[in-house]
Amino acid sequence: MATTVASQSVKVNIGCGLSGVPGWYNLDNSPTIALSRLPFGPRLFKTPPWPPDVRRHDVTKGLPFASGSVAYIYSSHTFEHFTYEQSLALAEECFRVLQPGGILRVVVPDLKLIVRSYLHDESAMASHNFLQRLCLNRGIRDLLHPGANHSQMFDNRSLCHLLQAAGFSRPAVCQFRGSAIPEIERIEGEERRSESLYVEALK
């Protein structure tokens, strides 16, 4: 059921991981969230320290917000974990829930940067290092947590194309923390700056 939101500054953080930000709707689908909320769960299951304001939600099944009710959506290193069809459906959901003038900012690993690093890697294991960075392998983690590994990779052209297909007219590549989202520094961390592509779109 969609959440009816009256505020004009509702902010949604999709795939927040452990970096939930106060004042945002922080969404993640890790199964360890539920385990961490059980009595003695963190001790028994050695779960990560999930912030209390992180909500478990599978965004591939839609976003729990009314149409036109959200001002800002931020997503870092999440879209690449879905198939192209799933990521397109999620981008369409973002378009639906954003209010006119609302902003979607998507951050993903930049395939161009990874390829460039491979081409300059003169080590004997350069090819294996390259494939390991793509994280496209499948394993037991995917049975426990669908989407634990990458399903696709983006460059600037493919990510902008995805957002255009979802209804956004002019998605644009941005710099780290170069955003129309207020206080972007509160949510955009330094730790993945060197490997990331930043694209922002206005509804």
Domains: count for the chain? 1
Are 78 and 162 in contact by the 8 Å Cβ rule? The answer is no
pTM: 0.88
Q: Which residues of the chain have a pLDDT value below 50? A: 1-7
CATH number of the domain at 21, please: 3.40.50.150
φ, ψ of residue 200 to 5 degrees: the values are -125, 140
Alpha-carbon torsion, ordered 54, 60, 66, 69, to 10 deg = 70
Coil/strand/helix, residue 145 = coil
Q: What is the pLDDT of residue 135?
A: 77
Q: What is the pLDDT of residue 50?
A: 92
Burial of 102 (0-12, 13-18, 19+ CB in 10 A): buried
Q: What is the pLDDT of residue 6?
A: 40
Of all helices (H) and strands (E), which one includes residue 160?
helix 156-165
What does DSSP assign to residue 38? S
- The residues near 152 (Cβ < 8 Å, ≥ 6 apart) are 80, 82, 83, 84, 87
Residue 2 lies in a domain: no
Residue 177 lies in a domain: yes
Please count the other Cβ atoms lying within 10 Å of the Cβ belonging to residue 96: 19
For residues 203 and 188, give the distance between their C-alpha atoms in angstroms, rounded to a whole number.
Answer: 21
Residue 6 lies in a domain: no
Helical pair 126-134 and 111-119, crossing angle rounded to 10 deg: 170
Q: What is the pLDDT of residue 70?
A: 98
Residue 124 is part of which domain span?
Answer: 11-202
Side by side, the strands of the sheet bearing 25-28 are 54-56, 25-28, 11-14, 70-76, 98-109, 196-202, 172-174
Residue 1 lies in a domain: no
Q: What is the pLDDT of residue 137?
A: 65
